[in-house]
Amino acid sequence: MSEFLDFAEQTVRKAAESVRDFRLSDKLHDKKDGDLVTSGDLEVEKEITGAIARHYPDHGFLSEEGTTGNPGADYQWILDPIDGTKHYVREIPLYTISLALRKNDELITGVVYSPQSEQMFRAEKDHGAELNGRPIRCSSGVPVDKLIVCAEIPGGLFPEGGGKATIGKFHRLVQNVLRVRLLGTSSLTLCWTAMGGFDAYVNLGSGSKIWDIAAGLVVLKEAGAKITDDDGRIIAADPAIHDKLTELLEI
């Protein structure tokens, strides 16, 4: 594994100490799009972007909370300081710190850390995926009617003209697989799919941003998944499962 991956893990672990006990979860700040941002988000962002600037001054970075640097750099770090802020402010332990590295247009490194469960997922292009140092692989050989799928659907207003179609696809999914789970933290559910906890990840257009999914997609791809992203509608699973679900959902 490269120095980039080791740097990402060490930096994320250190930053996680400030949000592990929820002490900054009730200090809310306004955000124009209606999402929540806490002092925890801002503290994690400051620590990690500062570490990037010190260790890799020629690299760029992009964070959910708006901090950017060197936007034209070949290497760009993509950070979600707290993915799952709505859980974090309610002291529900389904939140992560997510950090990925993109070289030009290709995601090459990903780290997703859950401060509460202390699950550290990490992956690097062509080197596989790990959970706490143990290699992981996504599920395989599961028939459609036995699948446990983690899904994400749009919240609030559906895209114009797309509500009926989206609900139709979700109903088709529920009717054809064993169970569908909706948990709402993209980075974590992508990684739980990578370790085989879920058999597939399906996003029917929840509006996930690049910082929500970048690191998790690296982990899942390196765990053996095939990934289709059709304008934000994502299916990710072992290739055989993936192909069955794309046919079922017409994505």
| Residue ranges of the chain assigned to CATH 3.40.190.80 | 144-249
For 219, phi then psi, to 5°, come to -60, -45
pTM: 0.93
Query: Could you tell me which residues come within 8 angstroms of residue 148 by beta carbon, excluding any fewer than 6 positions away?
Result: 177, 178, 179, 180, 181, 198, 199
Does the domain at residues 144-249 carry the CATH identifier 3.30.1380.10? no
- Calpha distance 226→250 (Å, rounded): 16
136 neighbors 196 (Cβ within 8 angstroms): yes
pLDDT tens digit at each of 251 positions of the chain: 689 999 999 999 999 999 998 887 777 765 555 678 899 999 999 999 999 999 999 999 998 877 777 888 999 999 999 999 999 999 999 999 999 999 998 999 999 999 999 999 999 999 999 999 999 999 999 999 999 999 998 875 555 555 778 889 999 999 999 999 999 899 999 999 999 999 999 999 887 889 999 999 999 999 999 999 988 899 999 999 999 999 999 98
- Calpha distance 13→118 (Å, rounded): 9
| Residue ranges of the chain assigned to CATH 3.30.540.10 | 3-136
Q: Within its chain, how far is the Cα of 2 from the centroid? A: 21
Q: CATH for 3-136?
A: 3.30.540.10
